[in-house]
Structure 1
Amino acid sequence: MSELEKWLGEGSAMLPWLTDIAINIVIGLVILLVGKYIASKISRWCENRMLKASVDRAVAGFTSSILYALMFAGVVLMALGQVGVQTTSFIAILGAAGLAVGLALQGSLSNFASGVLIILLRPFRAGDFIDGGGQMGTVDRIELFHTYLKTPDNRVIIIPNSSIMNGSIVNYSREATRRLDLVVGISYDADIRLAKSIMEEIINADERILKEPKYLVAVSELADSSVNFFVRPWVNAGDYWTVRADLLEKFKYAFDEQGVGIPYPQMDVHLHNKEA
């Protein structure tokens, strides 16, 4: 009986300590959840404010991602401190383990560093149409480790930042104007002067084609089956694809009406009757 009383007495003595631990754990969880919610709200608010201040959308998204990561790290430390973990020692342990973690996460760190370089060097902005990392699309946003592109058919492509920075980047939207590079072929028996005149007339009639720089229409090649022309007008970048499609269609209609042939690939075969 005395042993039971002794055990109950020890349990009663430990009850306040266990209660304090439970309360601290609950408070720590509340700090973690509420802090995460507040960090998310603050980062979104900052992003919206930057967008209203005409800050580039890619920069705003990258900055808000960094801000959220820093605030969430602080919230985790606060929650651990509330539970009773010595955060000073915890930070020291994290620092000691940082090298090993860094080696294990070389790819992620490389993506982060590349994201910083993208923001600093600005090879492209949100809304630019680029070819980077082997993919083409419109830049939607830049985050800590990835860049998001949207394709013309509304697919989202997520590319690691290091893949973009380690390769060539073609920015189709950086300049206000672009040059169309068309190759138009006519048959050898067609009138070259007539074909050139038809194409120049169509180009001069299109108001979307810029007067300066001057367009070029010239014979580029005497190919196997056709006489090829370079057709190189300048247009505003936003009109590139529509003007390209319209010119090709108008060339075809005008050539058909004027009797200018567009040949198919062909091969002449000569047969010789060799007497035995």
Structure 2
Amino acid sequence: MDNQVSGVIVATRTAFTQITALAVQYSFSILGAIILLIIGWTLARLIHNWAYSGLKKVHGIDETLARFFSNIIRYALLLLVFITVLGQFGVQTASIIAALGAAGLAIGLALQGTLQNIAAGIMLLVLRPFRVGETIQTPQVSGTVREIGLFATELVTADGVYLLAPNSTLWNVPVTNYSREATRKFDLSITVAREQVDQATTVLNDLARADGRVLDAPPPRVFIDSFSGSNATLILRVWIGTPDWWKTTRDLTHNAQARLAMEDIAVN
């Protein structure tokens, strides 16, 4: 009986000693891991803010793109810190890195379309074929750009309909940007009788020069485009500031018809 009691006491002391040794050993590991996490988290945030501020100052880098790249840097640093912390506890980090690589490859294959949209979004934000507020047209979509995201671009069509276009559909196609240049040309075609060509030319020239929204350089021009029987087709060519283009072209068309009618010039 005494021998059994002595054996239990010895076993208990041995177990306590081992537990104490493990506690001491892992307490330092846990303390080191906590310190690493605090330092890593702080550094990741500081570097994230520094990268975001620096990227915003780079010409051609959109705020969305600056935020995207700075977040990638932050999460990469946090991942590195996490792997380092695991190493504190004797975990084989090489196998973890290999597993993360395999998982990343699998996710990339599964999200191939999404990654394609992200790549297209980055290119759109870097090269900027269009900006927020500009009116664009592609073979598939048209409208005024409301927001350019990493996955898709928001637009509003001419009839006020909201449109969400995946970035990949805007990157691999020709894009017509109606708002990028400061001025735009407008050709107004009018067909009149041959004997009234000179009179109509004078009316159209006076009409264009009287409109303050029509630019003086290049100056307005009226020329004969073609003949058809007893008729001649005149072209009034003017240049207009892009913000005023739509309203001015509609006014010129309406006013030309009214002025030619006042001069008894028949428009065929």
Tell me the TM-score normalized by structure 1: 0.64
Q: CA deviation at 1:181?
A: 2.2
Counterpart of 1:127 in structure 2 is: 133
Of 64, 67, 71, the match for 1:64: 67
Q: Identical aligned pairs, as a percentage?
A: 32
d(CA) in 2 for partners of 1:214, 1:87: 76
Of 183, 186, 192, the match for 2:197: 192
Q: Deviations over 1:59-113 (max 9, x none)?
A: 223433555677689899999x99xxx8955653231133333233322222111
Verify the 8 A CA contact 2:135 2:178 in the aligned structure 1. yes
Distance 1:120 1:209, change over 3 A: same
Residue correspondences, number: 215
SS of 2:224's equivalent in the other structure is: strand
Of 148, 159, 172, the match for 1:166: 172
Counterpart of 2:113 in structure 1 is: 107
Of 168, 180, 184, the match for 2:186: 180
Of 129, 146, 149, the match for 1:143: 149
Distance 1:148 1:70, change over 3 A: farther
Amino acid at match of 1:137: G
Q: Deviations over 1:160-185 (max 9, x none)?
A: 22211111111222211111122222
SS of 2:163's equivalent in the other structure is: strand
Counterpart of 2:206 in structure 1 is: 201
Q: CA deviation at 1:151?
A: 2.6
Verify the 8 A CA contact 2:194 2:231 in the aligned structure 1. no
Gaps of 5+ in 2: 1-44
Distance 1:59 1:224, change over 3 A: farther
Q: Does 1:219 align with 2:224?
A: yes
The structure whose Rg is larger is 2
| Mapping of residues 192-271 of structure 1, within 5 Å | 192-223=197-228, 226-263=231-268
d(CA) in 2 for partners of 1:60, 1:109: 20
Tell me the TM-score normalized by structure 2: 0.65
Verify the 8 A CA contact 2:62 2:126 in the aligned structure 1. no
Amino acid at match of 1:157: L
Amino acid at match of 2:150: L
d(CA) in 1 for partners of 2:100, 2:147: 31
Distance 1:196 1:67, change over 3 A: same
SS of 1:195's equivalent in the other structure is: helix
SS of 1:95's equivalent in the other structure is: helix
Q: Runs of at least 4 residues of structure 1 off by over 6 A?
A: 69-79
Q: CA deviation at 1:190?
A: 5.5
Amino acid at match of 2:62: V
Instruction: Output the aligned Cα RMSD.
Output: 3.7
Distance 1:239 1:262, change over 3 A: same
Verify the 8 A CA contact 2:209 2:220 in the aligned structure 1. no
Q: Deviations over 1:213-232 (max 9, x none)?
A: 12221111224795322221
d(CA) in 1 for partners of 2:105, 2:257: 65
Distance 1:60 1:209, change over 3 A: same
d(CA) in 1 for partners of 2:145, 2:92: 40
d(CA) in 2 for partners of 1:102, 1:134: 27
d(CA) in 1 for partners of 2:226, 2:201: 14
Counterpart of 1:95 in structure 2 is: 101
Counterpart of 1:12 in structure 2 is: none
d(CA) in 1 for partners of 2:149, 2:230: 51
